[in-house]
Amino acid sequence: MGGVVFLLLAAGFAAAGLRLSWETLPQDRYTEVVWWSPASWMFAGLFGFAGLYLVVTGGIWKRDSRFQPMSSEQLVAAVQNAAVPFCVCLDCMLFLPYEVSVGRCPRCESSGSCLEVHNGADRKTALNAIPPGR
Ligand SMILES: [Zn+2]
């Protein structure tokens, strides 16, 4: 989310820089323009890069690629082999490390279809609940 905020800030500074470049200002505000126009562009570039960096490395895209939906067979194999505790989202067909979900699926935001697996009985319940052939 931080990355998106930075990108919005960058857009804001870019808009300010544009306005200052195009606006014809009175003579006594000349130094202000000389200072603020490049400064605005600099901030726009800075926040733009920071925002892009955050979005690419720590943001939305990475989160989505980390949690790819699995086929039934893959999910069953993951549930059978993984060490407890972990979570499984039956709507998304996702295997979730316990520390990223804690009872709520980060992809669909549902807690109802997100099963927590703490022991062998939970594991059996999860395995039975996984719909076959998906
Ligand atoms: Zn889900």
Closest CA to 115 of 133, 134, 90: 90
Separation of CA 65 and ligand 1 centre (Å)? 14
Using alpha carbons, list the distances in angstroms from residue 25 to 35, 37, 87: 13, 12, 60
Residue range 121-134: mean pLDDT, rounded: 90
Separation of CA 8 and ligand 1 centre (Å)? 29
Separation of CA 100 and ligand 1 centre (Å)? 12
Closest CA to 95 of 115, 110, 109, 111: 115
- Claim: this prediction has a pTM higher than 0.85: no
**pLDDT reading at 95 higher than 50:** yes
What mean pLDDT, rounded, does the chain reach? 79
Residue range 31-43: mean pLDDT, rounded: 68
Separation of CA 67 and ligand 1 centre (Å)? 9
- With pLDDT > 70 as the criterion, what percentage of the chain qualifies? 72
- CB atoms within 5 A of ion ligand 1 belong to 89, 91-92, 105, 107-108
Whole-number pLDDT of residue 52: 77
